[in-house]
A = this chain, B = another copy of it.
Amino acid sequence: MKKQLNVGIVGYKFMGRAHSNAWKKAPLFFDMPVTPVLKAACGRNEESVREFADNWGWEDIETDWQKLVTRPDIDIIDIALPQNLHYEIALAAAKAGKHIFCEKPLSMTSVQAEEMLKVCEENKVTHYLNHNYRRTPAVAHAKKMIEDGKIGRIFHWRCAYQQDWIVDPAFPLTWQLRKETAQAGPQWDLNSHAVDLAHFLVGDIDTVSCLTANFIKERPIADENASGSLSATSLGTEMGEVTVDDAALMMVTFKNGAVGSFEATRFASGRKNRLTFEIYGSEGSITFDLERMNELQYFSRNDAEGDQGFRTILATEAAHPYANNWWPAGHIIGYEHAFVHAVVDFVDAVEKGISIKPDFSDGLKIIQVLEAGLRSAETKQQVQL
C-alpha cells in the first residue's frame, strides 16, 4: 500500500470546497507516490462542518482549530480561511511541525508574514501559498517560454484583475469590505494574485506607485453567518462604512528594468473573474485571460515576415504542463484543476522534504508590494521596496 499523508483542513466555504476537491481528485488523475488522506475538517459551527465533512469524505471533524493543529495523526494543515485567520493558525501549525498549505493572501501585514515565514523555517515544515494560477497549463507554459528565451528581454507587464460583484450599491457589507477582516479590498484579494504572477513571470518589483478608489462609501450591514448566500432583500436598513478600497491601480518598475501596471477592481461591469496580463519582450509577447484560462496568446518576432501575429495556443496538449494527465488535446479543464496541480506538487515537496513555489517567502514579498502600494496611495508618492 502507498504511503499516506494525513490532511487537516480549517475552513469549509468556497475555498474549503475547492481544496477538498483537489485533495480527493489529485491521486485519481496523477501518479502520486504518496496518497493524501482527508483526515479531519475543522470549523466553528459543528453542524456545518459535519455536513461538509460528510459530503467530501473528511474522516473526522473538529470545532477548535487549536486541537486540529496539534493532533498527532495530522501531517498537513490546509488553511482555507480568510486572510485575517492565517497568522495564528499557521504559527501554531508550524510549531506543531505540520506542513502548511495556505490560501492566499498570506496575511494581514508584512510583519505577520515575516514571522510566519521565520517560524516555518525554524520548524523545517514545508509551506505553500496557494497562488494557484501559476499552475494552470497556460501560465506554466508561459513561464517555460520565458525561461527558454522566447520572449527575450521583457519591457512591459500590463495586468488587470476585474470583477463586478459589488457594483450594486445594495450589495451588503460582507467581511471582504471591512478592513478588520480583509485589510484591503482588491488590493489584497486580487492584486495578491496579480503580483504573484508578475514576480513569477517578470521578476522582482523595485518601486510602486498606487492609487486606490472607493466608489460606494456605505452599504447595508450583512449578517455574517449568512454570508454564503447573501441577497439584498434579506438585509436590514442599517448601513455600515466600507473601509477598504473598491479598486486599486499600481504602476511599478521591476529590478530588471521592465515597467508594469496593475488594475484590481470589483467595479468592472461585465467582468466576472477576468485576470488578464500582457507581457511584451524583445523576442515576443504573451497575453492571458483567466476567463479563457486554457488559452495563451503568443507573438513571436522570429516568425517569417508577413506571417507574424498573435497565436492562440490551446494549452491542452501533451506538451503543456499538467495537461497530459487530464484529457485529449482540445478538451479544456476548469478553474478547480489548478488546485489539483498544487496538491500534487505540494505532496511531492513534502514527501521529498523540499520547498515548493510560491511559499511564504514569496507571500512575504507580495505583501510587501501590496503594503507599499497602500503607503503610496496615502502619500501620493512612489515607494521604493
Which A positions have Cβ atoms within 8 angstroms of B?
14, 18, 20-21, 24-25, 27-28, 55-56, 141, 145, 150, 153, 155-156, 158, 160, 162-165, 167, 207, 209, 211, 213, 215, 246-247, 249-251, 253, 257, 259, 261, 263, 265, 267-274, 278, 280-285, 290-294, 296, 298-301, 303, 305-314, 316-317, 319-320, 326-337, 380-382
Which 10 interchain pairs have the tightest Cβ spacing? Answer: A272-B330, A273-B330, A306-B319, A270-B299, A334-B334, A309-B311, A380-B382, A331-B335, A333-B334, A309-B313
Is B269's CB under 8 angstroms from A284's CB? yes
Kindly state the separation between the CA atoms of A334 and B341 in the bound complex, as whole angstroms.
15
Is B291's CB under 8 angstroms from A267's CB? no
Kindly state the separation between the CA atoms of A133 and B13 in the bound complex, as whole angstroms.
29
Is A327's CB under 8 angstroms from B317's CB? no
> Which residues of B lie under 8 Å from residue A281 when comparing CB positions?
269
Kindly state the separation between the CA atoms of A213 and B153 in the bound complex, as whole angstroms.
14
> Which residues of B lie under 8 Å from residue A312 when comparing CB positions?
309-311
Is B314's CB under 8 angstroms from A307's CB? no
> Which residues of B lie under 8 Å from residue A380 when comparing CB positions?
207, 209, 381-382
**What is the chain B residue whose CB lies nearest that of A55?**
B28
Kindly state the separation between the CA atoms of A335 and B336 in the bound complex, as whole angstroms.
12
Kindly state the separation between the CA atoms of A317 and B306 in the bound complex, as whole angstroms.
7
Is A291's CB under 8 angstroms from B314's CB? yes
* Chain B nearest Cβ from A345, distance in angstroms: 19
Additional A-B contact list (16), CB under 8 Å, known A251-B251, A305-B317: A28-B55, A155-B265, A156-B265, A162-B280, A211-B251, A269-B285, A270-B284, A270-B285, A270-B310, A271-B330, A273-B329, A306-B313, A309-B311, A311-B311, A326-B335, A334-B334
**What is the chain B residue whose CB lies nearest that of A253?**
B211
* Chain B nearest Cβ from A334, distance in angstroms: 4
* Chain B nearest Cβ from A130, distance in angstroms: 15
> Which residues of B lie under 8 Å from residue A317 when comparing CB positions?
272, 305-306
Is A327's CB under 8 angstroms from B18's CB? yes
Most buried by B among A296, A312, A337: A312
Is A330's CB under 8 angstroms from B263's CB? no
Kindly state the separation between the CA atoms of A326 and B339 in the bound complex, as whole angstroms.
14
Is A306's CB under 8 angstroms from B320's CB? yes
Q: Contact check: which of B307, B313, B320 meets A145 at CB < 8 Å?
A: B307
Is A272's CB under 8 angstroms from B329's CB? yes
Is B292's CB under 8 angstroms from A165's CB? no
* Chain B nearest Cβ from A348, distance in angstroms: 18
Kindly state the separation between the CA atoms of A158 and B165 in the bound complex, as whole angstroms.
19
Given contacts A305-B319, A311-B309, A380-B381, contact A335 B332 (CB under 8 A): yes
Q: Contact check: which of B150, B156, B265, B314 meets A309 at CB < 8 Å?
A: B314
